[in-house]
Amino acid sequence: MVEAFAVASGKGGTGKTTGTLALGMALSEAYDVTVVDADMGMANLLFHAGLADVETTLHDVLADGGVPVEAAVYERHGMSVVPCGTSLADFRAVDPARLREVVARLAADTDVILLDSAAALSSRAAVLPVVLADRVVVVLEPTIPALSDGMKVQEYATSYGTGTAGVVFNKVRDEEAIDRIAAKAGRYFEGPTLATVPESEAVRAARRAGEPLLAHAPESRAAAAFHEAADAIDVRDYESGAVADRFRSAVVPESP
């Protein structure tokens, strides 16, 4: 079984990468989880996951004549992690459409794929994870631009046949107002509010330490909230081979 989720926000700074790794670690208690940094132009998951020094990344897999994806899979914190490099020159050399084949190969051997997606909808490479995923998890801050951009992500997802697993309100400072905001936002989002995650110094400390939040501060309220979000996701039981075929035959053409 496997289901692929794009963790997306449409706007930078909402804590999407922190959320991707936190959801991944929480889900890894029940599932075999693979996390892919699919933010190919602005990768940063490697810094969050203690993988800043690794040799082989997704860029090497997606390059012309690239290495097999297995060479860029690292076992960390109970998950399989595929980091992406940060070199813009390397990014320019990749064919983002090959992500489809990468996801198809990973799908054969995992339960859950989380694609950390670009904080933009401005290019084909940025939107591709949303196209490939079965469903999106939308990470929102309770601000107007974040909500607006989150809605745009959902509309893109829906337009490309991708569902919405739910929304996570992150960096919540006004815990009294968030329930009202979440209820009102719920009218516009297809999935449920999976959790509201409080603004937390633990998140910044984890980032500085180069560790996922759930490894660095497992007892923090933010970590507990991400556990709650993971518990609220009903991972669907697609048959792996069929899913791999679906990714291979996905709507993306071969050449960029």
Partner 1 sequence: MRLPPGRLIRSRVLSDPRTVFADALDRELTGYATLESQDTLLLDGDGNGVVTFEDGVPVVVYHTGADRGGPRALADLAANGPYRLELFATEPANLAAVHDCEAWQVPPGMPAERLAGDQDLAERTRAAAPDGRTSDTDEDDEASGDRSSDRVGAVEAFLEDEAKVEAIREQAREDARRRADEWGFDVD
Binding footprint of partner 1 on the chain (CB under 8 A):
11, 13, 121, 124, 127, 131, 141-148, 151-152, 155-156, 158-161, 171, 173-174, 176-177, 180-181, 184-185, 187-188, 251-253
Give the nearest distance from C-beta 58 to partner 1 in angstroms: 20
Q: Which two tokens stand for residue 220?
A: 């923090």
Give the nearest distance from C-beta 223 to partner 1 in angstroms: 20
Which of 52/204 has CB closer to partner 1? 204
Give the nearest distance from C-beta 45 to partner 1 in angstroms: 21
Nearest to 25 by CA among 226, 236, 240: 226
The Cα 165–Cα 93 span in angstroms is 33
Residue 3's beta-bridge partner residues? Answer: 112
Strands (E), the chain: 3-8, 33-37, 74-76, 79-82, 112-116, 135-140, 163-172, 193-198
Which of 49/181 has CB closer to partner 1? 181
Please enumerate in sequence order all residues whose Cβ is within 8 A of that of 181, keeping only pairs 6 or more positions apart, or say none.
Answer: 142, 169
- 167-190 core/surface letters (b: 16 or more CB in 10 A; e: else): bbbbbbeeeeebeebbeebeeebb
Give the nearest distance from C-beta 40 to partner 1 in angstroms: 15
Give the nearest distance from C-beta 81 to partner 1 in angstroms: 28
Which of 6/49 has CB closer to partner 1? 6
For residue 51, the SS3 value is coil
Give the nearest distance from C-beta 31 to partner 1 in angstroms: 29
Nearest to 47 by CA among 73, 11, 84: 84
Give the nearest distance from C-beta 128 to partner 1 in angstroms: 9
Which of 87/188 has CB closer to partner 1? 188
Which of 52/188 has CB closer to partner 1? 188
> Between 16-27 and 221-232, two packed helices, what is the crossing angle to 10 degrees?
70
Nearest to 23 by CA among 226, 250, 244: 226
Which of 124/248 has CB closer to partner 1? 124
Which of 11/77 has CB closer to partner 1? 11
